[in-house]
Amino acid sequence: MGKLDKLGAVVTGAGEGIGEAIAKEIASNGAKVACIDFNEESGNSTAKSINESGGEAVFIKTDISDPNQVKSMISDSLGFLGSIDILVNNAAKFIFGAVEDVSQDQWEDILKVNVIGYSTCVKEALPHLKKSGKSAVVNLASVSSIIAGPKFVPYNTSKGAVLMLTRSLAVDLAEFGIRVNAVCPGSIHTSATFKHIEHMGTDVEKTLKEFQESSLLRRQGKPEEIAKAVLFLASHEDSSFITGENIIVDGGLTYN
């Protein structure tokens, strides 16, 4: 018996990186998973890999910044899953820069995905989450929600908002038995690592070494290490009395 048996989970940004690891971890613990991404090739590949390993998954192509697409994604997810008990808001846009570098369009783009997109997914899933009795929302925030790295204004701001969205939703949804928590990853080795380095314009090997040395454990984290924390918060069995909380998984990057 898996700890998520008979549950249905929606995971956004499941095509690669942390979202892919989360979708696989949740599926290997017994839940059916709707893998959501706007990238058809990678999203399909995650669902295929879960199905080939004996799990049950479907890919539903969706841009979470479009409320109409989110509405039909939730309806299609319900059709496949039978119930929506778990929602993992993980998809994200990465726009970096100092305040004078960022255009109005870039601000709107990042908030539409990282903040409003998360809220829209909760809003559309809400009638189904209310029926579950074991429902959990897990939002991917970041150490950037807590510490302000230089020239990271839009991304830091959006991730700061994810933490307050998490707490606000926890307050309002507790009466329906819906727990809402966040995970704050530190530096995790995914394609986002390379988007960050490209923005900095620094030497790749040297910067990777700096990322590794910035944590107490002297390495970057793996997507699977974030997926374990998400599984804990998604599982009613493991975290039934935890809501409005955030777990920092950063190898000690923010220890002080």
Ligand X SMILES: NC(=O)c1ccc[n+]([C@@H]2O[C@H](COP(=O)([O-])OP(=O)(O)OC[C@H]3O[C@@H](n4cnc5c(N)ncnc54)[C@H](O)[C@@H]3O)[C@@H](O)[C@H]2O)c1
Contact positions toward ligand X, by CB under 6 A? 12-13, 15-19, 37-39, 42, 62-65, 90-93, 113, 140, 142, 185, 187-188, 190-193
Q: Is residue 182 within 8 Å of 246, Cβ to Cβ?
A: yes
Q: Is residue 137 within 8 Å of 87, Cβ to Cβ?
A: yes
Q: Which residues are catalytic?
A: 155
Structure tokens, 191: 């394609």
Structure tokens, 96: 């970096």
* Nearest residue (CB) to ligand X, 160 versus 244: 160
Report in angstroms how near the CB of residue 154 gets to ligand X at its nearest.
12
Q: Is residue 217 within 8 Å of 252, Cβ to Cβ?
A: yes
Sequence-distant (≥ 6) Cβ neighbours of residue 51 within 8 angstroms: 57
Report in angstroms how near the CB of residue 250 gets to ligand X at its nearest.
8
Cα separation, 9 vs 32, in Å, equals 6
Report in angstroms how near the CB of residue 216 gets to ligand X at its nearest.
16
* Nearest residue (CB) to ligand X, 38 versus 170: 38
Q: Is residue 151 within 8 Å of 98, Cβ to Cβ?
A: yes
Structure tokens, 66: 């479009």
Report in angstroms how near the CB of residue 237 gets to ligand X at its nearest.
24
Q: Which position's Cβ is nearest ligand X?
A: 17
Per-residue 3-state assignment (H helix, E strand, C coil) for 115-171: CHHHHHHHHHHHHHHCCCCCCEEEEECCHHHCCCCCCEHHHHHHHHHHHHHHHHHHH
- Which residue is listed with tokens 């929506």? 84
* Nearest residue (CB) to ligand X, 132 versus 250: 250
* Nearest residue (CB) to ligand X, 36 versus 170: 36
